[in-house]
Chain A
Amino acid sequence: DIQMTQSPASLSASVGETVTITCRASENIYSYLAWYQQKQGKSPQLLVYNAKTLAEGVPSRFSGSGSGTQFSLKINSLQPEDFGSYYCQHHYGTPYTFGGGTKLEIK
């Protein structure tokens, strides 16, 4: 199975800051990488797929990049509603696997 490793595990930032979360795959997954946001007690929400394509309705302050084994999610000008947990997940065939998550908290 492809292992997905996210960093950092937690992150503290202020409103207006820019943050970057990284994700590494244990083997080449080309651009088959998705990012999700999950708020406490809620279902995950798709943010990005195919490494850099924003899902419908996702604000442009979110951006995804990378290919192969190294990927990142950048959030420009953090807003209060951006705090929560973020997960990467490969969609390069089954079994789909998720990273361990990054918890983004308010500083």
Chain B
Amino acid sequence: VQLQQSGAELVRPGASVKISCKAFGYTFTNHHINWVKQRPGQGLDWIGYINPYNDYTSYNQKFKGKATLTVDKSSSTAYMELSSLTSEDSAVYYCASEGGLYYGTFAYWGQGTLVTVSA
């Protein structure tokens, strides 16, 4: 199992960015894809998950309106779009999958995507 994320992004305040997470080595629709935020030198914050089987999403209330989760089953790729970016959104964003374990136990992680919001 491998989750491969897109590269670092430098974006302007107020803009949006869409980052990707491509899954390898398992049936994409079998496991949720979760997204986690980590600001520099800080802890981990769960953003939400998407069920690739039926496109069902669950968001952390603090990220509703900020993050939008989607998938493309044909390419086994999950996406997270972040809108109205501010300096508070500068962080590394990880995708993670349970990989068959209990929901919410993240056995597999992408390498992370650094998003820098700067003018």
A in complex with B:
yes
Instruction: Point out residues on A near B: beta carbons under 8 Å.
Output: 1, 32, 34, 36, 43-46, 49-50, 55-56, 87, 89-101
Q: How many A-B pairs fall under 8 Å by CB?
A: 64
Distance of A46 Cα from B44 Cα, bound (Å): 13
Could you tell me if B107 and A98 are in contact, using CB atoms closer than 8 angstroms?
no
Report the Cα distance A1→B61, complex, angstroms. Answer: 10
A2 to chain B, nearest CB (A): 11
With a cutoff of 8 Å between Cβ atoms, the chain A residues found around residue B43 in the complex are 87, 98-101
The answer, among A50, A55, A90, A94, for a CB contact under 8 Å with B58, is A94
**Residues from chain B with Cβ under 8 Å of A87 in the complex:** 43-44
Nearest chain-A residue to B101 (Cβ)? Answer: A49
- The answer to whether A94 touches B106 (Cβ under 8 A) is no
Q: Which 9 A-B pairs have the closest CB atoms?
A: A91-B104, A43-B109, A49-B105, A95-B60, A98-B44, A96-B46, A96-B104, A101-B43, A34-B105
Q: With contacts A89-B46, A95-B61 known, what are 16 further pairs, Cβ within 8 A?
A: A1-B61, A43-B94, A44-B94, A46-B105, A46-B107, A49-B101, A49-B105, A56-B107, A93-B104, A94-B46, A94-B49, A94-B58, A95-B60, A96-B34, A100-B43, A101-B43
Instruction: Tell me the complex Cα distance, A59–B37, Å.
Output: 27
| A43 with B110: CB separation less than 8 A | yes
Is there contact, CB below 8 Å, between B112 and A94? no
Most buried by A among B60, B102, B104: B104
Closest CB in chain B relative to A33 CB, distance in Å: 10
Q: Which residues of B contact A49 (CB under 8 A)?
A: 101-102, 105
Tell me, yes or no, whether B111 is within 8 Å of chain A by CB.
yes
> Complex formed: what's the CA distance from A55 to B58 in Å?
25
Q: List 25 interface pairs A-B (beta carbons < 8 Å), by A numbering.
A: A32-B102, A32-B104, A34-B105, A36-B106, A43-B109, A43-B111, A44-B36, A44-B44, A46-B106, A46-B107, A49-B105, A55-B107, A56-B107, A87-B43, A87-B44, A90-B104, A91-B104, A93-B104, A94-B48, A94-B60, A96-B34, A96-B46, A98-B44, A99-B43, A100-B43
Given contacts A95-B61, A98-B43, is CB(A45)–CB(B102) below 8 Å? no
